[in-house]
Amino acid sequence: MFDPLLIWGFRLLDSPWGGFLTGLAVLSLLCVITGDVTSHLARRLNRGVYGRYRDEMVHQHNLSVQALKHSDKDAYKAVNRQAHEAFGKYFFSQAGAFTLSIWPLPFAMAWLDIRFGGVPLTLPFSVPGVGDSVFYPFFFLPIYIAVRIIYGRTMRRFGFYQRILTWSKHGDDTQMVPFIDLLKPSSGDDTRPEGDPSDGPENATRK
């Protein structure tokens, strides 16, 4: 049923190599768009769960940083353990969302295997360690990765896609406090008591 749609890209150019590579690029774009739509729908439907996981992770992390800042070792160990648990929940939830973005890939490769599986493609040059004969994954996987990267960078330039990102966003805007902040002096470190020796004679006289 989908064969006419999928094979369409391979017939855009008369050149065998040009048509083959163009068809792989079109197929990759279809996979990326379909996966992206699915992923955003899943994020939207599960934004409550994902948001709780993210907010809990950020909250526990920030508490652990505060415990370190106050040199409370016992509190840091307790909170850091909870932060790791929260991170694990959020990480695997996002891993699942990412998996939804690439679900069309194995189906595309199954279709390519039906069409081109077992057919060696002779290269116009020899690749070290590979030779001058390869199969379709040699081209399809790098093209898919390239299309996915270009798609992500390009779509973020459009206002409607930014609205989609906002629509599927989860959690509040609280950010994780970086550990590097522990090296920054507190606001009270710059205050000097009255009569500090570093004050000049004029300041001492005025006081």
User: Per-residue pLDDT tens for 93-134?
Assistant: 889 889 999 999 999 999 999 988 888 888 777 778 777 788
What is the DSSP track for 106-166? HHHHHHHHHHHTT--EEEEEEETTTEEEE-THHHHHHHHHHHHHHHHHHHTTSHHHHHHHH
**Which residue shows structure tokens 């116009």?**
124
CB 33, CB 25: distance < 8 Å: no
Mean pLDDT lowest for which of 61-70, 116-125, 194-203?
Answer: 194-203
What ranges do the domains of the chain cover?
3-123+131-170
User: Could you tell me the maximum CA-CA distance found in the chain, to the nearest angstrom?
Assistant: 93
- Model-level pTM? 0.74
